[in-house]
Every structure is written in structure tokens, then in C-alpha cells.
Amino acid sequence: MKENKRDVVAAFDFDGTITYRDTMLPFVIFVADWLVSIWNFITLVPAAIAYLLGALSRQEMKERAITRFFSGMTIDELKSYGAQFAKKRLGVKLKPEAIRRIEWHKKQGHRLILVSASLDVYLVPWATLAGFDDILTSRLEVDKEGKITGKLQGLNCRREEKTRRLEALLGPRESYELYAYGDSRGDRELLAYADHSFFRKMPVMEKIKEI
């Protein structure tokens, strides 16, 4: 009896994997402009020192920055900035080899999932246009009036949170075949979780056989 083939999933990190570098800093500057951003960064120096000394977690540091730059804005306002940023600025930050790999998975009919610690407000519009089937990101918390609180909704989407989100979305790991792409220690658990993992590189396309 012929064994049924498992569905194939391709999970991509974003910053440093699809892009050349981090995108959070360019986004906050896009929203706040340079002069305001410089002042905000200065006020965040004590928190940054505390983070480097281990007194603040990465999530706490991220929430301090979100509070400084976005607290009091409505989520609709920030989503508008996010859509503009995705359309006008992200294109020049993308690695051609990563885009080719994404397109290859699409042609094979694989399920594409973006799994990133970056913010939903600009990744959702970008990933939707890029053809991703699912988008798992860090999400901003909002209050009853739709204003950004400065906190994340749940956990920062990195390390074991990436695999937890995938499991919640897809169910048992053995039910699908997984390709994973990442570039940092924040992707270690995701890469270890996969059948085929690629760290800081994309496969040479000429050598790839279609599945």
C-alpha cells in the first residue's frame, strides 16, 4: 500500500533571512522621523544598559521601545504607517535569493508561513502581498479604545515561541514536512524543529530537485 505524502510547509524568519538587516529601526524612524527618533533613542539608553546587563528581558526592552515610540497611537494609525512602509520601503531591503526561494516553494504548492519577532503592523501587509499563507509575528496589544498600550499581545515571537506558534497552527509535527529558514539564535528552535533547515543561506537553486 502506497504511503500518503505529507503536506509540505516552508517557514521563514524575516529580519536577516528575507531582508539584509533588521527592519524595526527603519520602521520606527519612518513613523517618528529622525529628530524625534534620536530623542527617543536617547531616553531609551538606561533601559538598553539594563537589558545588556541582564536586568531586562528582550521582551521588556522591546516593550519599552514600543511604549516610547507608539504608545497613545491608535492601531489603525499604525497599521496605515505599516502598510505604507511595506509598500514603499521594504522592497529595497529584500534579498533576491530569499525571494527566489519563496517563489520556488509557491510553485511547488507548499504552504508558506512567515514566523518573525518583528511587528504585525508592517509584516502582515508585506507577507500578504508576497503570497504567504500564514503570518505569525509579534503582535501589539491595544486597549478598549483601539490605542496601543506599549505591550505585546502575548510573547515575543522568537526562539521556542516560534515552534509553539507553529504547533498551535499546524498540529502534530509528524503530520507535515517542514523547511525552515533563519539567521540568528532566535531561530535555533525553529531550525531544530524542521526536516530541512537552512541557517544564513539559501539552497543553490540549480541543484534543487522538485518534490
Q: Which ranges in the chain belong to alpha helices (H)?
A: 24-32, 34-43, 45-52, 58-70, 75-88, 96-107, 120-130, 160-170, 188-193
Instruction: List per-residue pLDDT tens for the chain, 211 residues long.
Output: 345 578 999 999 999 999 999 999 999 999 988 888 999 999 999 999 999 999 999 999 999 999 999 988 999 999 999 999 999 999 889 999 999 999 999 999 999 999 999 999 999 999 999 999 999 999 999 999 999 999 999 999 999 999 999 999 999 999 999 999 999 999 999 999 999 999 988 875 434 444 3
Is 27 in contact with 70 (CB distance < 8 Å)? no
What torsion, rounded to 10 degrees, do the Cα atoms 16, 20, 22, 25 define?
-170
The CATH label, of 3.40.50.1000, 2.20.25.90, 3.40.140.80, 3.40.50.1820, for the domain at 7-207 is 3.40.50.1000
Which SS3 state, helix, strand or coil, does residue 135 take?
strand
Domain parsing of the chain, residue ranges: 7-207
pTM of this prediction exceeds 0.95 = no
Q: What are phi and psi of 61, to 5 degrees?
A: -65, -40
Q: Which pLDDT belongs to residue 72? A: 85
Alpha carbon 201 to its chain centroid, in Å, reads 17
Please report, in angstroms and rounded to a whole number, the separation of the first and last CA atoms in the chain.
Answer: 20
What is the grid cell recorded at 201? 543561506
- Given CA atoms 116, 120, 122, 123 in this order, what sign does their dihedral have? positive
